[in-house]
Amino acid sequence: MRHGVVCEGVGMLIGASRIPGVCMVTPEIFRDDRGHFLSTFSADADVMPPEIAFPVAQVSQSRSRAGVARGIHFTTTAPGCAKLVWCSAGSALDFVVDLRVGSPTFGQVEMVELDPEVGRIVSMPVGVGHAYLATADDTVITYLLSTVYVAANEQSVAISDPDVGLPLPAAQDLVLSERDGAAHSLAWWQDSGGLPEYAESVRLDALLRSAG
């Protein structure tokens, strides 16, 4: 993996997670008395190295008040979905959960603090799960997605599942959607055969990034 990639004045530090395929990206921020400027995505392959680049099919945003938790969401594989996620306003604890059966880090969690001042971006491969907890009002999370959202393909693992063990407030103190509040446990999904397979997820992710 390349680190400290710089091109045309736009720099990105790329750091690997212990979860295969997950990367933490810290873009260079240009500050002055007006505020700051940063780039979160570029079609230039030297700026967005292959570890994190993919063809973008959809850009989405969510806005949440403090205490709102969303997730743990994953996309049925195939098609699967790669994501770039960052916080445009407010602040959040962001979680990546390895849901890929057969992965050496299956069930493990990567937690990242996201806010606009640092500008950190999380790059997620096909097959992993994603969740976040808004820690400030008017928290805006921006997503770049490799596939168009199809409701029938979007699944949810219970965010308060003790077998996953996300460091969250008690379930009764979280603000959840009806779907997330009724989500099944990780064990249920594993027993049902509904989780992504690691080898297939890696294959699909490699195809996706080679097309980028």
What separation in angstroms does the CA of 120 have from each of 5, 35, 198? 15, 17, 26
Taking a C-beta distance cutoff of 8 angstroms, is the pair 112, 120 a contact?
Answer: yes
Q: Name the residue type at position 212.
A: G
CA distances 178 to 95, 135, 174, 183, Å, are: 20, 20, 12, 9
List the catalytic residues: 73, 143
Query: 36-64: per-residue pLDDT in tens?
Result: 888 888 777 777 777 788 999 999 999 99
CA distance 90 to 81: 25
Structure tokens at 79: 């098609």
Task: Record the pTM.
Answer: 0.91
In tens, the pLDDT along 180-208 reads 999 999 999 999 999 999 999 999 999 99
Q: What percent of the chain has pLDDT over 70?
A: 94
Structure tokens at 131: 């969740």
Domain carrying residue 48: 5-211
What's the number of domains the chain is made of? 1
Given its phi and psi angles, is residue 177 left (phi above 0), alpha (psi -120 to 50 degrees) or beta? beta
**Residue 115, both tokens:** 């806010």
> Mind listing the pLDDT tens digit for each residue in 128-160?
999 999 999 999 999 999 999 999 999 999 999
Q: What are the angstrom distances between the C-alpha of 115 and each of 24, 112, 199?
A: 13, 10, 33
Cβ neighbours for 192, distance < 8 A, ≥ 6 positions apart? 184
What CATH number should be reported for the domain holding residue 116?
2.60.120.10
Looking at residue 183, the DSSP 8-state letter turns out to be P
Region 75-103: what's the mean pLDDT?
Answer: 97
What is the average per-residue pLDDT within 72-80?
97
- With pLDDT > 90 as the criterion, what percentage of the chain qualifies? 76
Which residues partner with 113 through β-bridges?
A: 93
DSSP tag of 185: P
